[in-house]
Structure 1
Amino acid sequence: MSQAQRDITLRFLAEPQDVNFGGKVHGGAVMKWIDLAAYACSAGWSGRYCVTAYAGGIRFVAPIHVGSLVEVEAKVIYTGKSSMHIALEVNACDPKSLNRRLTTHCIVIMVAVDQNGQPERVPQWIPETEIDKTQHATAIKLMEIRKKIGEEMQIFVED
């Protein structure tokens, strides 16, 4: 690919090894899938190796059953100098019916890095549609909220 790719969808079947003690897909497995999609999306946009800097606002809306067809949709909604804010949505369905339902959604921030782990500049993403502009503005608001939360969380960090 010679052009930056803003979004990506990963699709696969939920397998028996993904099950938790309650018989549904484990939240940790879903989080791994989210991280994989965020990486693929950010690498596609930046053309660089990327690392996860933040994952938050994760909402588990509905369980995923073993054997479900799972789709993890990821798209860039904001870019900084080296960071990319990726909005993710996880949908699942019985592969025989294809009636998709939302199961999880969140935001992940990825950072492009060089071979020494130092941040590298990424192409700027400019919102064009109204929904893009709304999501971009929301990403900026969330940055401000995360900054405040980070300050409050310092009480839990040992010096």
Structure 2
Amino acid sequence: MTSGTRREVNLRFLAEPSDVNFGGKVHGGMVMKWIDQAGYACAAGWSGCYCVTVYVGGIRFIRPIRIGDLVEVRARVIFTGNSSMHIAVDVSADDPRRSAAEKTTHCVIVFVAMGEDSRPTPVPHWDPITEGDRELEQYARKLMSLRTSIDAEVARFLEPAHDAR
């Protein structure tokens, strides 16, 4: 498979007892790990390069995942820049004895492809094909715009005057 040919990755597995939090459900940090793993596999598959996470935004935990649930983590490219890829990640889960999984978590991750020199490197361009693809691309563009104002606000709290010491 050449770079630029794998737009989507799906991981499927059972939620295990070692994934549990103090409330008896799957720990949010474990879900975030799965999201990052699926996002990385998707970005690396698209770009053909090692990729680094540069942004995770708007993560929403919709409902808990229970131990023993069949979990599916779906990651897909929804926008590409010069060296960056916006990857939408949806997590779904349900009891494997039933047939209809429910969405549990959603977010968008931005990855940057890295070259052999450990610097950002160009990625194949992605063009939306379907109406759904075009909507996802617009969603990514809107998030990029919102991120600019969020970054400015966060930058204020990175200044020494806001240091908690």
The structural deviation recorded for 1:93 is: 1.0
In structure 1, the partner of 2:71 is 70
Distance 2:32 2:46 in 1: 21
Q: Counterpart in 2 of 1:7? A: 8
- The Cα shift of 1:116 comes to 3.5
Q: Secondary structure at the match of 1:140?
A: helix
How far apart, CA to CA, are the structure 2 residues paired with 1:145 and 1:64?
29
Say which SS state the counterpart of residue 97 (structure 1) adopts: coil
Shift of 1:98: 2.6
Secondary structure in structure 1 of the residue aligned to 2:67: coil
Give the match for residue 149 of structure 2. 148
Q: Residue 126 of structure 1 aligns to a residue in which SS?
A: coil
Q: Deviations over 1:60-108 (max 9, x none)?
A: 0000000111000010000000000000100001111132011000100
Measured in 1, the distance between the counterparts of 2:118 and 2:37 equals 19
Whole-angstrom CA distance in 2 between matches of 1:51 and 1:98: 35
Q: Which amino acid in the other structure matches residue 2 of structure 1? A: T
Tell me which residue corresponds to 1:102: 103
Query: What pairs up with 1:20-59 in 2 under 5 angstroms?
Result: 20-59=21-60
Provide TM-score, normalisation by structure 2: 0.93
Q: How far is the alpha carbon of 1:138 from its aligned partner?
A: 1.5
Q: 1:88 corresponds to which residue?
A: 89
Question: Which residue type is aligned with residue 72 of structure 2?
Answer: E
Gaps of 5+ in 2: 161-165
Does the residue aligned with 1:64 lie in a helix, a strand or coil?
Answer: coil
Partner amino acid, structure 2, of 1:47: G
Q: How many residues align?
A: 159
SS for the counterpart of 1:9 is strand
Which aligned segments of 4 or more residues in structure 1 are displaced greater than 2 angstroms?
Answer: none
Distance 2:67 2:92 in 1: 13
Cα RMSD over matched residues? 1.0
Q: Give TM-score, length-normalised by structure 1.
A: 0.97
1:123 matched to 2:111? The reply is: no
